[in-house]
A and B are shown apart, each in its own frame.
Chain A
Amino acid sequence: MDFIYSDEQQQLRDSLQKYIAKEYGFEARKAIIASKQGFSDKVWAQFAEMGLLGVAFDEAHGGFGGSSVDTMLVMTELGRGMVVEPYFSTVVVGGSLIDLGGSEAQKQAILSEVVQGKLLLAAALGEPKSRYELNCVETAAKRDGAGYVLNGHKAVVLHGESADKLVVSARTAGGARDAKGISLFLVDRKSAGVAVQGYRTIDGMRAAEIKFANVKVGADGVLGEVDAALPLLERAADFAVSALCAEAVGAMEALNAATYEYLKTRQQFGRPIGSFQALQHRAVDMMIHCEQSRSLALLASVKVQSEDPNERKRTVSAAKIQIGRSGRHISEEAIQLHGGMGVSNELAAGHYAKRLTMINATLGDVDHHSERFASAA
C-alpha cells in the first residue's frame, strides 16, 4: 500500500493551491460568475499555462501523460476554490470521451487544442426524461449519405453555451432505453440547427438546454463505435464521477474548515460557541464524513482504471454514494452551525453547500448509484 503522492503530484497541487488562494478569492469568483460568460478566459489561459488542461492526456496528444490520480488532485483543488471554469466539462468529461473513444485523428485534432486552452468541450448526454440513465437516449441520429442527421433535445448540458464542440449521445438503433443502438457524435456548437438556451445553475456554473433540428454531422463526426457507444459512455462517466468525488472532497475540507473557524470565533453566552459539547460532537461528525469521503474518492480515482468493469462500477458508485450522503450531511450541518450567516449569500459556506448539493444531482444521485452498486456486485 502506498498513499503517498509523488513529488511531481505534490508540486502540481501546491502550485494550483497557491494560484487559487491568490487569484480566486470569494470576491474574484463572484465577479467571474456575474460576467456574461460566467467564467474567466484569463483564468482558463492560466490553467493552460500551468499545464492543468493536459494532465490526463498522452504526450502524443499534447498532454503530460499523467494518471487519474493527477486529475483527482486537480479536481480537489478546484473544489476547494469552487472554481467555475469548465474544467470538468471540457477536460474531464469531454476530454475523456475523446481520449477513450476517439480515433487517432480526432485525438490529435481535438485534445491538443484542449490542452492549449483553445477549444472548449461539453458533453450533451442527458435528456429531459433520462434522469441519470445514460442509456436513456431519444435523440435520433439518422443515416444521411456518409454522415448523419441529428434531431432531439439534450438537457442540463454543463457549459453547453460556451463549448466549441459538443459530444452528443444519440440513438442510431433500438428503443429509447435499449443499451444497444447508442452512438456518439462530435458536433460544432455553431452548426446549423443547433439551438442553445443557456442559463445559470444554482451552484454558480452555467448549463444549457440544447435542441438539435436536422443537424448534419459528417462521417468524421462519429466518435467511437456506431450503435455500441454505451460502454464507452459509462467508462467516461465513471471517470467523471471519480473526478466529481475528488472535487467534493476539496469542497468538504474547505467548508469544514470554515465551520470550525466560525465555531472558534463566534461568541454567544460569553464564550465561543465551539465550546459547547453539543456542537463539538457535530463538528467531529463532519470531519469523519469528510475522511470517509476522502477514502472512497481515493479508491475510486485508482479503481476507475480497472479493466474489470464490475470492479470499476462498484467502486465509483460507492464513492458517489458516500460523497452524496456526506456532502448533504456536511452542507446542512455547516449552514446550521453558521446560524443566520449560513443562509446568507455573502458567505462562502453556503456556496460550498450549493456546489456539494449539485454534485449529488450530477451523473447520478445516491439512489441511482445505490442501485448500480448492488447490481455490479
Chain B
Amino acid sequence: MDLNYTKEEQAFREDVRSFVHENLPKDIGEKVLHHKRLVKDDWVRWQKILYKKGWVAPNWPKEYGGCAWTPIQQHIFDEECGYAGAPRVMPFGLVMVAPVIQNFGSKWQKEYYLPRILSSEDWWAQGYSEPGSGSDLASVKTKAVRQGDHYIVDGQKTWTTLGQYANMIFCLVRTDTTVKKQEGISFLLIDMTLPGVTVRPIITLDEEHEVNEVFFDNVKVPAQNMVGEEGKGWTYAKFLLGHERTGIARVGESKRELEQLKAIAAKELRNGKPLMQDPRFRDRITAVEVELMALEITLLRVLSSRTKPGPEASILKIKGTDIQQALTELTMEAVGPYALPFRPEVRDGNWKGESVGPEYAAAAAAVYFNYRKTSIYGGSNEIQRNIISQMVLGL
C-alpha cells in the first residue's frame, strides 16, 4: 500500500497548476473566487482555452480528441481547476451527451456534433426533468411522434440549467405509450432554435437566473437526431449517469471554499478575537475539514479500483454535497449580521459602487441558499441513498 501520488502524477499536477495559473483569465478567476455572476462568455472563453491546449474533454477517448488520462490524472486536473477558481466546464455537452453520442450515436451525429461540442460552438442543455418527473424520471411525458422524416415533439422540461444559453438540448422523450414506462423512452437531440421551442426563466432563492423551463410546442425534429434505437433512451440515460458520478465530489472547489472560510474566520472578530480562535466555531470548521479529507481518500479509492465506478459512487454525491453545503453555511455564519444585506447588483462583474460590509460577505447568504440545490439536483440525495441501499446493500 502506498497512498502517495507517484512522481509522474506529481509532475502532472505541477503541469496542470502552472497551466491554469498562466492561462485562466484573471477576470474569470476573480468572479469565481468572489461568487460574482458568470456569463456565457466566461465559460466559453475558458473552455476555448482548454480546447486549444487539448484538455477540454479529458474524459473522451483519444480518437475523438480526449486525453487518455488515468482516472487519477482526471481527478488531479479537476481538483487543480476547482482549487484555482476556474469555472466548471459545462458538463452537459462534454461530459453527458458526448459519451452517449460516441457509444450509441450515428456516424452523422458523431461527425457533426462532437467537433462542435469540443470547440464550444454548441452549448448543450439537459432535458430530463419535467414538472411531474423529478426523482421518478422514467415517468417523462414529453412525447415525440414519428411523422415521415421527423419527430413531432410536444411537452415540457424543467430545471434546465443555463438553458438560456443553450442552442441544443438532449431530451428523454416518450415515443411509445403502450409498453413498460422505461421501454417507451427515447433519446432525442433537439435544436433549440427550431420553431416551437420556448425557454422561460425560473428564478431561484438567490434571485438568480440559472434554471429554466423549456416548452416544446409542435416542434419538428429531424429523425436523424434520434440517438441509437427508439425505445432505448432509458438505457442510454443510465449509461450517462455513470459518467457524471465521480466529478460530483468537487474536492478541489471545497478545498478552495474551506481555505476562504478560514481566511474569513481569521478576519472576523468575536469578543474581540478572531473567530478562527473561537473553539466553538473552529471545531465546526474542523468537522467539515475532516469529512473533506475522508472524502478525498474515498474518491481516490473509487478511482483506483480496477472496476468501473459502480453504485457506491453515490457516496461521493452525498458526501460531496453535504460538505459543499456545510461550507456555505459556515461562511454565512462567519459573516454574522452582514449575512442580511441582499444586493444582487454587487455580483455583476462590472459593478462599482458603495460596498456594505466586507466584500466576502456580499454573497454569503445567497450562495448558502443557492447551494441547497446540490442535494436536490443530479439525482437527489434521497435517490442516491436508494441506489446504495438497493444496489450495494441489497436491501
Chain B residues in 8 Å Cβ range of A177:
271-272
Structural contact, B134 and A345, CB atoms closer than 8 A: no
Complex contact B205–A199 (CB within 8 A) = no
Contact A361 B376 (CB under 8 A): no
> Measured between C-beta atoms, what is the minimum distance from A86 to chain B in Å?
15
Chain B positions within 8 Å of A136 at CB level: 272
Closest CB in chain B relative to A4 CB, distance in Å: 37
Contacts of A350 in B (CB 8 A): 205, 369
Interface stretch (choices A65-73, A223-231, A289-297, A365-373): A365-373
Quote the shortest CB–CB distance from B269 to chain A (angstroms): 6
The reply to whether the CB of A236 lies closer than 8 angstroms to some CB of chain B is: no
Is B342's CB under 8 angstroms from A343's CB? no
A268-B139, A342-B372, A342-B376 known; A202+B280 contact, CB < 8 A: no
Question: Are A357 and B372 within 8 A (Cβ)?
Answer: no
Interface string of B282-294 (1 = CB under 8 A from A): 0000000000000
How far is it, in angstroms, between the C-alpha of A155 and the C-alpha of B372 when the chains are bound?
Answer: 28
| CB closest residue in chain A, given B281 | A367
Interface segment, A8-16, A163-171, A212-220, A331-339? A331-339
Say what secondary structure dominates the interface of chain B: mixed
A202 and B202 form a contact (CB under 8 A):
no
Per-position binary interface string of chain A over residues 346-374, scored 1 when its CB falls under 8 Å from any chain B CB and 0 otherwise: 10001001100110111001011011000
Residue pair A345, B205 in contact (C-beta under 8 Å): yes
* Contact of B354 with A197 in the complex, beta carbons under 8 Å: yes
Number of A positions contacting B (CB below 8 A): 51
CA distance A176 to B139 in the complex (A): 63
Q: Which residues in chain B, 201-248, are within 8 Å of chain A measured between CB atoms?
A: 202-205, 207, 211
Judged by a CB distance under 8 angstroms, whether B392 is at the interface is no
- Interface mask (B133-144 → A, CB under 8 Å = 1, otherwise 0): 111100100000
Instruction: Determine whether the beta carbon of A345 is less than 8 Å from that of B204.
Output: yes
Partner of B339, one of A268, A343, A345, A361: A361
Q: Given the known A-B contacts A268-B134, A336-B375, are A131 and B269 also in contact in the complex, defined by CB atoms under 8 Å? A: yes
List, in ascending order, chain B residues with CB within 8 A of A345's CB: 203-205, 207
Asked whether any CB of chain A lies closer than 8 Å to the CB of B324, the reply is: no
Chain A nearest CB from B332 CB (Å) reads 8
Interface digits, A153-194 against B, CB 8 Å rule (1 contact, 0 not)? 001100000000000000000001100000000000000000
**Please, how many angstroms separate the alpha-carbon atoms of A209 and B281 in the complex?**
27
Q: Are B204 and A343 in contact (CB under 8 A)?
A: yes
Closest to A334 in B: B372
Q: Is B296 an interface residue when CB atoms closer than 8 A count as contact?
A: no
Q: A202-B339, A336-B376, A350-B205 are in contact. List 19 more A-B contacts (CB 8 A).
A: A132-B337, A156-B341, A197-B356, A199-B343, A201-B342, A202-B342, A207-B341, A209-B356, A268-B133, A269-B135, A332-B372, A339-B376, A343-B376, A354-B205, A357-B332, A357-B368, A358-B365, A361-B336, A361-B337
10 shortest interchain CB distances as A-B pairs: A268-B136, A202-B342, A201-B340, A156-B337, A131-B336, A350-B205, A345-B203, A361-B339, A202-B365, A269-B136
- A residues near B (Cβ < 8 Å) are 126, 128-129, 131-133, 136, 155-156, 176-177, 197, 199-203, 205, 207, 209, 267-270, 273, 278-279, 328, 332, 335-336, 339-340, 342-346, 350, 353-354, 357-358, 360-362, 365, 367-368, 370-371
